[in-house]
Chain A
Amino acid sequence: MIVMNPTKNTTKRVAKVVILVAVLIVPLMLSTFGFTFYLDLATRLSILAIAAVGLNLILGYGGMVSFGHAAYLGIGAYAVGIPAHHWLYGGLNMVASTNGFLQIGLAILASALFAFLTGLVCLKVKGVYFIMITMAFAQMLYYLLVSISEYGGDDGLVIDTRSEFPLISLDDPLQMFLVSVLSLFIIMWGVRRIAKSQFGMVLEGIKGNEARMISLGYNTFRYKLVAYVISGVICGFAGALLGNFTTFISPEMIDWARSGELMFMVILGGVATTMGPLLGAITFIVVEEVLSSLTIYWHLPFGLMLIGIVLFVRGGLSSLLERGQKTDD
């Protein structure tokens, strides 16, 4: 437990609020001055941050390092793209629709199902094996989508019509941004609540000492599976937003490199923290953007920088917010 120093604690809170407000306000200001590009960047950032928040639930709070979470981004995006495709070109009447609620519902259901089924297998193993098997399942989905020519196979598919909601039009970049960023805030708050709840405490206990939790009488597998499904659903929702944002879906969204990026955002920002995934996503997206505008060989300095942060900023970027914070350990 942290012994709170009131003034430092207030500073920390202020810093967090400033970051959250900045994420909302800065893109809006830039876009009113005509830099609409930054609004798009912030939308992409918000969506990936949602996925990182979802991944953090199991990676950070639960200690389960999933290397296949981009699969859920893909599932969510295809849950928008496939119904939209059939709505336009016929076939598969059951799902053919541009109704946003139906599409997001489908994204959530499909993600939950995929997480549940793969979780049954993945969660039987630990450590490196868990990492490899989550990646393997994601790659299986990747190759499955590559093989379905109806949905463009390798090339992917253009989403002609975005999800339709009453009163909201995702075709408007501003509304797309607001939906994404507000979803992000709500989900950050929700995951924070879960982390502090009884369920979260059990998850923390499992991360700390699973053998002990079993001998105390916890069916740890069940708790891990539920966390895994919640995490998948959050990423699936992010995927549905991503599909609407890019209006393009392809198996490439599921590629293991994408999963790695999500992992990186979480670790970069600081695992098992509320702000971590957001800070990680901001850094990742902004630095990627800046470096790639400077040089086409931006991957090299980018990679070096990431390694540097992970090595030298223990606890990730969010630990910088805690600097000078007196803890009793």
Chain B
Amino acid sequence: MTELLSIKGLNKSYGGVKATDDLNLSILKGELHAIIGPNGGGKTTLISQLCGNVMPDSGSVHFSGRDITTMSEHKRPHLGMSRTYQITSLIRTMSVLDNLQLAIQAQAGHSFRFWSDVRRHQIERERASSYARQVGLEGQIQSRVDNLAHGEQRRLEVAMALTSNSCLLLLDEPLAGLGGQEAAEMIKLLDSLKGHKTMLLIEHDMDAVFSLADRVSVLVYGHIIATGPPEDIRQNAEVQQAYLGEA
């Protein structure tokens, strides 16, 4: 398999704290690559640097062979990478359909169209609702995001990442705060995307990680201490000590 995302020697410090410490990682095309690690291990900081929200101090990030280390955040989705947030980040005052339509439009060139009523564009509305269907929100398309249950918001978050036709999804704890049934639905959704998308999954739920991931990397104090298939990681002594607890 070819390499889709390549991270080399990435460093990021906040004051004296090294959030990312000489981090090397490569994500292969088509895999679901999970990153686990203790809290404060630098997982979200890593995602932020990959999507351009935070600039690294040094090192490089290549996406599809292209150097995107310093590319501005709003340009990266156009190359084919999109993200979801650990803390749900949606446009809460707008409807499910509006959120999806905005996500679709973002990819469709500019939005400097000032005159026709955007909510009457049948083709775009239909496209937006097809993504709502994909994540099981077809009954809620007119609801304001505010009024959705937490699990529904999480799924909308994923649906918005899907609209982009991105080949790479950066998923920052999609299971965060989900209850049993909701979590199961999300895992099913992620499983259904396997093979179609390359996914970088940050997750605390170990059962989910070990059942979904093709490969797992362990991030401790900003540094990757191990990468490998789930079963190897489960047995790795160093990982057990650092993260999984003395089992």
Contacts and interface: CB of A to CB of B under 8 A. Distances in A.
Interface in A194-223: 194, 196-202, 204-205, 207-209, 211-220, 223
Given A199-B113, A217-B74, A328 B144 contact: yes
B11 interface: no
Interface stretch (B87-95, B204-212, B229-237): B87-95
Nearest to A212: B89
Contact of A216 (B114, B117, B119, B160): B160
A329 interface: yes
B142 A1 contact: yes
Given A215-B51, A328-B142, A199 B112 contact: yes
Contact of B90 (A209, A218, A219): A209
Interface string B210-247: 00000000000000000000000000000000000000
Nearest to A230: B114
7 contacts: A193-B117, A209-B90, A211-B89, A212-B91, A216-B102, A216-B160, A217-B75
A212 B118 contact: no
A219 B74 contact: yes
Interface string B47-65: 0000101000000000000
B16 to A, nearest CB: 27
Contact of B73 (A202, A214, A328): A214
A208 B105 CA distance: 16
A147 B194 CA distance: 68
A199 B107 contact: no
Contact of A215 (B83, B117, B146): B83
Q: State the main secondary structure of chain A at its contact with B.
A: helix
A199 B74 contact: no
B198 interface: no
A200 B118 contact: yes
Contact of B92 (A193, A209, A220): A209
A196 B83 contact: no
Interface string B102-141: 1101110001111111110000000000000000000000
B118 A205 contact: no
A226 interface: yes
A191 to B, nearest CB: 10
A226 B130 CA distance: 32
A188 to B, nearest CB: 15
Most buried by B among A3, A215, A223: A215
Contacts of B147: 328-329
Given A204-B94, A208-B92, A209-B90, A215 B111 contact: no
Interface in A312-329: 328-329
Given A209-B92, A217-B77, A199 B111 contact: yes
Contacts of B164: 216-217
B69 interface: no
A127 B211 CA distance: 45
Contacts of A211: 53, 89
Interface in A101-136: none
Given A201-B101, A223-B111, A329-B147, A217 B78 contact: yes
B106 A193 contact: no
A212 B51 CA distance: 12
A205 B114 contact: no
Nearest to B143: A328
Contacts of B91: 204-205, 208-209, 212-213
A270 to B, nearest CB: 15
Contacts of B142: 1, 3, 328
Most buried by B among A200, A201, A226, A328: A201
B76 to A, nearest CB: 8
Given A211-B89, A217-B74, 5 more contacts: A207-B93, A216-B82, A216-B164, A217-B76, A220-B74
Nearest to B160: A216
Contact of B107 (A214, A217, A220): A217
B203 interface: no
Interface in B144-166: 144, 146-147, 160, 164
Nearest to A210: B91
B60 to A, nearest CB: 21
A301 to B, nearest CB: 35
A197 B89 contact: no
A226 B94 contact: no
Contacts of B119: 196, 201
Contact of B116 (A197, A212, A217, A329): A197
B206 to A, nearest CB: 27
